C-alpha cells in the first residue's frame, strides 16, 4: 500500500473494497476473500499473522468475517511498521539487544583469531543491523 496515504485514507479504501465484496458494511466476506483483501493492502503480511487475526475475527466459527473483524485485522497491519525484509521493526529494547549480541559476537570472533573485517557485513545481516 502506498506510504503516502494517511491511515484514514487506507482504511477508507479497504472499507470500500469490503463493501464491494460483501454488498454492504453489515455484510460478511469469506475467510479466503478477507485473506486476499488483506494481502492486497499488506503484501508483506505472513499467512501465519493473517490466519491468527482472522481466527480472532471469526467469532462464530463460520469462516466468515464481519467488517469489524476485518477492520481490526487490517488496522493491525497498517499500524505495524515493517522493514525491507518484511520483518516487524523492533522496539528500542530489541534494537539494543541486537546491537549487544552483535558486538559480543565480534569480540568472540576477535578472541578466536578470526579477522572480523571480512565478517562484519555478514554479522550485521545476521543480527539485522542496518549498514551501508
**3-state SS string for 35-61:** HHHHHHHCCCCCHHHHHHHHHHHCCCC
pLDDT band with cut points at 50, 70 and 90 for residue 126: confident
Whether residue 132 is predicted with pLDDT greater than 70 in this model: the reply is: no
pLDDT tens for 85-107 read 455 555 667 677 778 888 888 88
- Rounded Cα gap, residues 16 and 24, in angstroms: 9
Amino acid at each position: 500500500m502506498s506510504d503516502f496515504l494517511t491511515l484514514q485514507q487506507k482504511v477508507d479504501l479497504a472499507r470500500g473494497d469490503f463493501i464491494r465484496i460483501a454488498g454492504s458494511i453489515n455484510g460478511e466476506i469469506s475467510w479466503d476473500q478477507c485473506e486476499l483483501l488483506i494481502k492486497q493492502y499488506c503484501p508483506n503480511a505472513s499467512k501465519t499473522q493473517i490466519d491468527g487475526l482472522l481466527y480472532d475475527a471469526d467469532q462464530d466459527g463460520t469462516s466468515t468475517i464481519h467488517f469489524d473483524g476485518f477492520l481490526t485485522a487490517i488496522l493491525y497491519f497498517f499500524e505495524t511498521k515493517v522493514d525491507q525484509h518484511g520483518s516487524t521493526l523492533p522496539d528500542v529494547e530489541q534494537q539494543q539487544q541486537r546491537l549487544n549480541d552483535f558486538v559480543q559476537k565480534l569480540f568472540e570472533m576477535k578472541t578466536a583469531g578470526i579477522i572480523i573485517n571480512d565478517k562484519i557485513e555478514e554479522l550485521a545481516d545476521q543480527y539485522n543491523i542496518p549498514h551501508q
